[in-house]
A and B are shown apart, each in its own frame.
Chain A
Amino acid sequence: MPRNACFIDGRSVALAEATHAAAGLIAASRLPVFLIGASDVAGARAAIRLAACVGGAVDHIASEGALRELDVMRSFGKFIVTPSEARNRADTVLLIGSSLTKAWPDMADVLGLAAGPRLALQPGRREILWIGADREEGLARLAGQTIVTADETLPAVIAALRARNAGRRVGLAASELASLDAIVEKLQRAQFGLVVYNPSILDALAIEMVAGLVADLNRTTRFSTISGGGAGNAETLMQTAGWMTGFPVRIGLGRGYPEHDPWRFGARRLVESREADLVVWIASNTAELPVWAAETTLAALTAATSNIPAAKVQITVGEHGRDHDAVEFVRETQSLAWRRASKHSDVPSAAALLDDILASLTREAA
C-alpha cells in the first residue's frame, strides 16, 4: 500500500476527498471521541483544538495505566526521579515486581544497575534488592537480597516492608521477617535510594503503598521512585492536555468547556454505551486499533500501512519522528524532547490534517 493511501469505505480516494469526508463525519457527529493511539505534541494539540470546536471527548489508548499512576499522585503524593539522576546517584535500588524488563526492556542499562553511582560520596557498587523477584529474569544476576512472591501476594509484602520500616510488628514467620528486615536495614543505610516498580501488576492502592514507603524513608534518608511501566505516549497527551485545558485526559468538551472525568470520558465506555457515535482514531505510528473502537463509525488517521476494513474513512499520516519532526515525551529524560525526522517525507502529519479539518469546519460555521 502506498504511504499516502486514503480510503472511503475501502475505496481508494485522493487525500482531499478523504479529508473532506472525515470533516463531514466529525461535523455530523453527535459526540465524536478523539482516541489517540500515538501522537506527538502537535498531533495532540490539534486533536484537542478540534475536539474543543466540535464538543468531542479526548482519550488515549494507554490512559488507564497513566491515570492509575496519576491517581496515586493526586490522592497521596509522589517522589519522582529522572533515570539519569538515579543512575548518577542511587547507591541502593529496590526493584518491586516481576517482569520489570518486559515492561522496560533496557531498564538495567538505562539505570546503570551493573555499575556504581558516579556522584555518590562513597564510590562503590550499587546494592540491588528485589521483592517479587523472578529468578528467570536477567535482573536476578544483579540482585543481592531478594524475596520471591507471586504477583497476587506482592502488595502484602510491600505493606509488610513498609510496616517493618516504620518499626511495626508484622504477623509473619521468623524467616520471612528476617528477609524483610534485612532489606529494611539496607534501605535505611542508603544515601540515595531508588525504587522501581512494575505498575502493570500493581493496583493504585499498592502503588500508593510504594509511595508511602518512599515517603517514610525520606524522613531519614533520600529515596525516590521511577515507574517501570511508564505512561509511554499517553504522557505526551497528558502534558499537552494539561496546559491546553488544565486537565489530564480523559476530557470531555461537549459543554463548551473542558471537564475531566476518567469514567465519563473513557473512550471505550463512550463507544460501548453508544454515547459516542464516531471514533476519530489518531495514530502517528503503528499503534494497534483496539477492537472495540470499530463498534461505531470510525475515521482513522494512521501511520499504519494496512487497510482498516472497519474504517469509514482512512487517511495515512506520517510517523512522527520519522516522516516529520516531532516533540514527544521521552521516558529516559522525563521531559518533552525534540526528534528530527529520521526519513523526512511528504506524507502529511496528523496535526496538519486535523488542522485542515478544523479550518474547514470553522469556515463552514462562519
Chain B
Amino acid sequence: MLTCLRGGRIVNPANGGERVGDLFIEDDRIVAQQAGRAADQTHDVAGKIVMAGGIDIHSHIAGGNVNTARLLLPELHPGQTPPSRDLPLSTARWSTFETGCLYAKMGFTTVVEPAVSPHHALHAHLELADTPIIDKATLTVLGNDDFLLSMLRKGESGNAIADYVGATLASTRGLGVKCINAGGATAFKYNARAFSLDDVVPHYGVTSRAIVEAMQQAVTDLKVPHPLHLHMNNLGIAGNIDTALATIEAARGMPLHLAHVQFYAYGTEGKRGFSSAAARLAHAVNGAKNVTVDIGQVMFGPTVTVSLDVLRQYNGSRNARPNKWVIFDGDANGGGIVPYDYRRSDFYNAVQWACGLELFLLIDDPWRVFFTTDHPNGAPFTTYPDLLALLMSQDLRSEWLAEMPRSVAEMTTLGSIAREYSLTEIAIMTRAAPAKLLGLRDRGSLREGARADVAVYNDDEDRARMFRDAHLVFKDGDLVVRDGSVTHYRAGRTLEVRPEFDRRIERRLDMYYDEVYRAPRDLFCVHADALPHTAFEQVGLRQ
C-alpha cells in the first residue's frame, strides 16, 4: 500500500535538513514519489511536523531489577482506567504493555534497555517480547564478572577477552556492551564503600581503568557499532566531576559513550558543598570528539532508582524515599532498587535538574549528546515532553528556576544560558544521532529506503503537548497512533549484533559454568525457542 503524508514540514537532519513537501511510505519503507501512481491513502499533514520515529538509547524498561522495582512499589503506580478491548493491559501502569504504548504515543519507535546482566538476559527479553509496537534492544553488562576479571588478572590476550565478550553478546542477544562501575560492584562484595577509576578490585588486582580499557578494546575489535557504554565510578557524589574528567582522559581518544552524565557533573562549592560543575564537563565533552554522552536529566516527582551499580545503590539507600530498598548481591553486578522523590524545593535535587539542562545546552554538538532521563532513575520517560519544552524555551526554564530555592541559581550557570534547541536539533538528538551511534542504518532518517518509522506532530506552541501526543505515528509503515491514541498492538523486533569470535571460548565457558555455577551455561542463554513471539533483527557490524 502506498501512503502519502501530504504537505508536512519534514525535519530530516540525517538527509537534507528541513523542507515542506510530501513523504511517501510503501509497506515498511520510505519511498520516492511514484510517477503516475496515486497514493492508496493520503494524510493531509500541512502545517504539521514530520520526523523519523524517535530512538531512546538508554531507558530501563525491562529485566529482573525493573520487575523488582514494580513489586517493591505497588503504591507508586495504581491504575484506574480500563483499556479498550483491543489493547488489553495497556492501561496497567508500569506494565510492559503500557510502556510500549506510551513510547509510541510520543513518536518513539525504538528503545534500548541499557543494563542487562547476562544471567538475567532471558528475563529481560521475555519482558521486551511483551512490550508492544516499539523495537527494542539490550546492552549486555560486563565488567564485574568473575570470568572477565580472572582473565585480566591472568593477563590474557585482547583476542581472548574479545572472544569472551563476543560469546556473551551472542548468548544474551545484545546490541552492545556496557560497563557499570567497572569493578565497583565486585569491590563492594569485598566491603569497599567507594571505588574510583584507579582503585584496585580486591582478589583480582585490576583497576577500574584497566577493565574499561579492555572492554573498549574488545568492543572495537569485535566491530560492534555502538562504542562501549560506560556508567562511570562515583555516581551521584559531590565532586565527582573529577571522575568524569579523568574518565574522558582515560578513553585515550577511542570511542566511548558516557551514560547519564548529569549524575557526574557535581562540584563541591557553596556552603552545602554541592554545586554544578556541568560547564566544566560540557567543555571537556566539547573537546573530546571520541566521546558521546547521554544526560540522565532529573525531573521532579516520585520515581525509583534501578541500577546495577550496587555499591552506589547501597550508599543511596539511606536517602530512600520512601524508606525501603532492595540490594541484590547477584552474580557479577547484582543491583539495587531504591525509591526516590525528586523535589523542586530540595536544593540538591534542583541543582541536579539544572546540571542536566546545562549539559544539554552547553554541549555544542547535538550529534554527541543524547536525550535521556535514565528512566526511571532521573525521571520516568513520560516526562520527555516537558523536558523537550524546557530545551526549546529559555523563558520556560526561567519560570521553573524562579520556583526553586534561590541558592540554586547561584550554584549553576543555567540562568545565563540563552540557547534554545531548534526542531532540527531535537530531531538530531532523538533520531539521527542515536541511529548513527547504535549503527541502525535504516532508522533515524526519512530518506528513501529507510524503515517507515515516522512521527507526525502538531506544530503546537505548547511543545510539551506537541510531543506528548503525536498526531500520527507509523511503525514499519503501519499507522499505530492517531491523535495521541494507540490504535492497535503490533509486535516490535529485537535488535542484536552477532560479532565473530573464536568458538573455542564457548567450550571453556561451558566448563567454567559447570564448575562455578554448577549449572549448564545453556540455562542462562537466550534461545529463540524461549521467545516464540520475538523477531530478532541483526544489526550490521562496523565496516
Contacts and interface: CB of A to CB of B under 8 A. Distances in A.
A335 B519 contact: no
B312 to A, nearest CB: 15
B516 A238 contact: no
A258 B122 contact: no
Contacts of A260: 74
B82 A256 contact: yes
Contacts of B83: 256-257
Most buried by A among B82, B92, B126, B146: B92
11 contacts: A52-B88, A82-B330, A84-B516, A88-B146, A192-B190, A224-B327, A239-B64, A335-B524, A336-B64, A339-B523, A365-B85
B80 interface: yes
A257 B334 CA distance: 32
Contacts of A121: 190, 202-203
A330 interface: yes
Contact of B95 (A221, A243, A327): A243
B80 A77 contact: no
- Indicate the size class of the contact surface on chain B: 35 or more
B284 interface: no
Contacts of A330: 523
A119 B524 contact: no
Contact of A243 (B67, B80, B320, B527): B67
Interface in B59-80: 62, 64, 66-67, 70-74, 77-80
B73 A84 contact: no
Interface stretch (A12-20, A67-75, A160-168): A67-75
B86 to A, nearest CB: 10
Contact of A221 (B82, B191, B324, B326): B191
Contacts of A327: 122, 126, 530
Contacts of A222: 188-191, 329
B126 A41 contact: yes
A355 to B, nearest CB: 11
B60 to A, nearest CB: 13
B325 interface: yes
Contact of B80 (A218, A245, A257, A333): A257
A336 to B, nearest CB: 4
Contact of B89 (A41, A52, A81, A248): A52
B62 A243 contact: yes
A74 B72 contact: yes
Interface string A64-95: 00000010011111111110110011000000
Most buried by A among B70, B130, B188, B527: B70
B519 A80 contact: no
Interface residues of A, number: 58
Contacts of B147: none
A335 B327 contact: no
Given A73-B71, A84-B518, A248-B71, A258 B89 contact: yes
Given A49-B88, A84-B516, A246-B92, A73 B72 contact: yes
A77 B326 contact: yes
A334 interface: yes
B6 interface: no
Interface of A: 41, 45, 48-49, 52-53, 70, 73-82, 84-85, 88-89, 110, 118-119, 121, 191-192, 218, 221-222, 224, 238-239, 242-248, 255-260, 325, 327, 330, 332-339, 365
Contacts of B93: 246
Contact of B314 (A80, A218, A256, A365): A218
A141 B188 CA distance: 32
A75 B95 contact: no
B199 interface: no
A247 B73 CA distance: 9
Contact of A333 (B67, B95, B517): B517
Nearest to A119: B203
A243 B127 contact: yes
Contact of A78 (B127, B191, B326): B326
Contacts of B314: 218
A45 B130 contact: yes
Interface string B303-317: 000000000001001
A260 B76 CA distance: 12
A242 B72 CA distance: 10
Given A333-B517, A337-B523, A245 B190 contact: no
B348 interface: no
Given A244-B97, A260-B74, A336 B326 contact: no
Interface string B377-401: 0000000000000000000000000
B147 to A, nearest CB: 12
Contact of A70 (B71, B96, B518): B71
B123 interface: yes
A75 B119 CA distance: 27
Contacts of A333: 119, 331, 517, 519, 523-524
B416 interface: no
Contacts of B274: none
* 4 pairs of A and B residues whose beta carbons are closest in the complex: A256-B82, A81-B329, A246-B94, A242-B67
A132 to B, nearest CB: 24
B403 interface: no
Given A332-B519, A338-B522, 13 more contacts: A79-B328, A82-B329, A85-B189, A85-B329, A191-B191, A222-B189, A222-B191, A243-B70, A245-B92, A256-B82, A336-B126, A337-B523, A338-B530
A102 to B, nearest CB: 22
Interface string B263-301: 000000000000000000000000000000000000000
